[in-house]
Amino acid sequence: MDNVNAIGIDEIQYLKGHKYLTLVFQIDTACKRLLFVGQNRCAKTLLRFFIDFGKERSGKLKAICSDLWKPYLKVVKRKAPKAIHILDRFHVMKYLNDAVDQTRRAETAQLKRDGYEPILEKSRWCLLKNKKNQKTSQLAKLRELVQYNLKTVRCYLLKEAFQHFWTYNLPDSPFRRGHAGEPNGS
């Protein structure tokens, strides 16, 4: 385990009733493998991985990919502060979609209170679904909505602009797509 440069941290539910295992994977380009399985989804479990992995190896980690769960974030910051911490796409996009939806709900209620046309009603999925998965009617509704200067539309456009982040390549970065040292996190 001396040549592990990048790890991924996740959890998996194994029984009903919120019974989880914490999983740590090596996600280096040349080697992908399971390194650790720990009982429960808690900070102590992830700390146990880092204790077993060792201070020296942890200090050599270049990249760590995880979700946005605060206990994981705190442990990673404490045990591998030099590593680049990559937040997984699914959870980042979930937060952005939640922000669009909360904005849509609040603005729909405000428009109703102010006596305006309920333009945002029945617009949830055209704002939240990936464009390639939308029905023709949802795309038409979206084309209609973007003509209005609404907070929800601005929020949606910001979310869509952020999608380019996932394909952006920083010149001369060791983590650039196609680079030999790229960690394959999500």
Supply the mean pLDDT for the chain. Answer: 90
- Report the pLDDT value the prediction gives residue 159, as an integer from 0 to 100: 96
Split at pLDDT 50, 70, 90, the class of 10 is very high
Report the distance separating Cα 123 and Cα 4, nearest Å. 46
Residue with token string 């952020």: 162
Q: Is 170 helix (H, G, I), strand (E, B) or coil?
A: coil
Contacts of 175 (CB under 8 A, 6+ apart): 63, 84, 181, 182, 183
Strand order in the sheet with 19-27: 32-39, 19-27, 6-15, 63-66, 84-87
pLDDT at 91 over 80: yes
Rg (CA), the chain: 21
CA angle 48–54–57, rounded 5-degree value: 130
- Report the pLDDT value the prediction gives residue 18, as an integer from 0 to 100: 85
Report the distance separating Cα 125 and Cα 54, nearest Å. 46
- Report the pLDDT value the prediction gives residue 15, as an integer from 0 to 100: 84
Domain 6-87: homologous superfamily in CATH: Ribonuclease H-like superfamily/Ribonuclease H (3.30.420.10)
pLDDT at 176 over 80: no
- Report the pLDDT value the prediction gives residue 178, as an integer from 0 to 100: 55
DSSP letters for 35-66: EEEEESSSHHHHHHHHHHH-HHHHHH--EEEE
User: How crowded is residue 58: how many other Cβ atoms within 10 Å of its Cβ?
Assistant: 21
180: left (phi over 0), alpha (psi -120 to 50) or beta: alpha
In the chain, % of residues over pLDDT 70? 92
| Number of residues written out for the chain | 186
DSSP-assigned letter for residue 176: S
pLDDT tens, position by position, 141-158: 999 999 999 999 999 999
Residue-range domain boundaries for the chain: 6-87, 91-165
User: How crowded is residue 116: how many other Cβ atoms within 10 Å of its Cβ?
Assistant: 12
pLDDT tens, position by position, 27-72: 999 999 999 999 999 999 999 999 999 999 999 999 999 989 999 9
